[in-house]
Structure 1
C-alpha cells in the first residue's frame, strides 16, 4: 500500500513538472528513431540550396570558434564529421519546427559539442537531455548519447516548451534549462547565437 501511495505521489510530482499533453507531443516528435540509425548523422546525397548554405555558413563559423576554443569537441576537427553533424542538426531542428541556429546555440551552450557530455545533474549528450525524458518517450537512457536520439529528443523538448510559452524563445529556453523566470540562461544561449 505504501508503494502505491509513493508511486501516485511521484506521478503527481512529475505531472507538476511536465504538462499533461507535453509527454504525448514529445512521444510523437521522437517516434520513429530506428535503432540502426540512431547513432548516425543524417546523410543526404543532395541538400537543398538553403540547407547547403546554412551548413556552409555554420561550418565556417565553427572553424573560427575552434581556433579560440580548445574545449570544443575533437570531432569538430574532422571536416566530414563536422559537416554531417551540422546537416543532422539542421534536419532535426527543422523537423521540430525550430530554427537550426537556435538549436546550434543550445548545443554550444549545453555541451560545447561534446557528444558524451554529462552534467552534474546527469543530463547527457549534445543537448544535455535528462534521462527521465528518455523513460517518458520509451527510449533507453544510454541512447541519449546517440546523435539522432539526443538531437531529436532535445529538439522535441525545446519545441514543446516553445509551444507552451506561446513562441517566447527566452521563456522556452529558461524552461529547457529548468530556470523559468530567469534571463540568465537565455542570455547565455543568445551569446552563442551565430547569425
Structure 2
C-alpha cells in the first residue's frame, strides 16, 4: 500500500508554517462549524476539467473494490489496528454504534490512502463539512459525509445522486475530488481545500480543516 504522502509532489503533509499563526482562531471556527445544525457544505463549482483528469476521476469512482486494506508486513498491519482503535475512541460520541463506527473508519482510511491523502486530513474535512453525519444535506444540496455536490454524479458517474448518501460512494467521491483539486493546484493544499469548498483564495475554510486535521492525527 502506498504511503499517505505519495503523489504530493514534494509538498510535506505537515501544515505549512505560515498557517500556524491562524490555527488558534481556526480551532474556534472549527468548533462552531462542527456543532452547527446544518451542514457546512463544500459548494464545489462545476468547472471545465481536462479530459485526462475527468477520465482518471471517473475510473476512480467506478472502481467497486471493497475497502479492505492490504499490508506489506505485520508491523504495518499492527499500526493500522492501533490507529483503528484510537480513532474509534475519538469518534465514539459522533458515531455511537460500534459497527457503524468501525465500518466508517475502515472506509475512510482506505479511500484516503487510495487517493494519496492523509486519513487525518479526510477526517478533519468531514468534521468541518458534516460533523460526521451520513445524511447531511446542505442548503446548496451537497450530500453526505464529505458534502459532495450532485453534479459530480453526472460529470463522472452514472447520474444517480442518491448514491452520495452511501458511505463508501460518498467517501470515494470526496477523496477522489480532493485529490484532483490537489493535483490541479500543483500540490498546494491551501488552494485545493478552498476549491473543494468553493471559496478558493479565502482563508476561513482551509484553516478550519487544518485545525480539525490536527485533532485526528495519529502518533505512535
TM-score above 0.5, yes or no: yes
Question: Does structure 2 conserve the Cα–Cα contact (< 8 Å) formed by 1:122 and 1:130?
Answer: yes
* Matched residue, 1:18: 48
Q: CA deviation at 1:105?
A: 0.8
Any idea what SS the aligned residue of 1:89 has? helix
Q: Partner of 2:82 in structure 1?
A: 53
Deviations 1:104-128 (A, max 9, x none): 1111111111111101010001100
Q: Which structure would you say has the larger RCO, counting Cα contacts within 8 Å and 6 or more residues apart?
A: 2
* Contact preservation (8 Å) 2:62, 2:157: no
Residue 97 of structure 2 corresponds to which residue in structure 1?
78
Provide the residue aligned with 1:3 in structure 2: none
Counterparts of residues 1-195 of structure 1 (less than 5 Å)? 17-21=47-51, 22-33=53-64, 42=67, 48-63=77-92, 66=93, 72=94, 76-139=95-158, 140-193=160-213, 194-195=216-217
Calculate the TM-score normalised by the size of structure 2.
0.69
**Whole-Å Cα distance in 2 between the matches of residues 108 and 179 of structure 1?**
18
Q: State the TM-score, normalized to the length of structure 1.
A: 0.77
CA distance in 2, matches of 1:95, 1:45: 11
Q: Which has the larger radius of gyration?
A: 1
Figure out how many residues of one structure are paired with residues of the other and give that number.
165
Native 8 Å contact 2:68 2:110 kept in 1: no
Q: 1:45 to 1:184 in 2, by over 3 A?
A: closer
The 8 Å contact of residues 33 and 149 in structure 1, kept in 2 or not, is answered as no
**Could you tell me how far 1:45 is from its partner in structure 2?**
10
Report if the CA contact (8 A) 1:127-1:154 is conserved.
yes
Q: Which runs of 4+ in 1 moved over 6 A?
A: 44-47
SS at 2:121 equivalent:
helix
User: How far apart are residue 18 of structure 1 and its match?
Assistant: 3.3
Q: How many Å apart are 1:44 and its aligned residue?
A: 6.8
Structure 1: 5+ residue runs without aligned partners? Answer: 1-12, 67-71
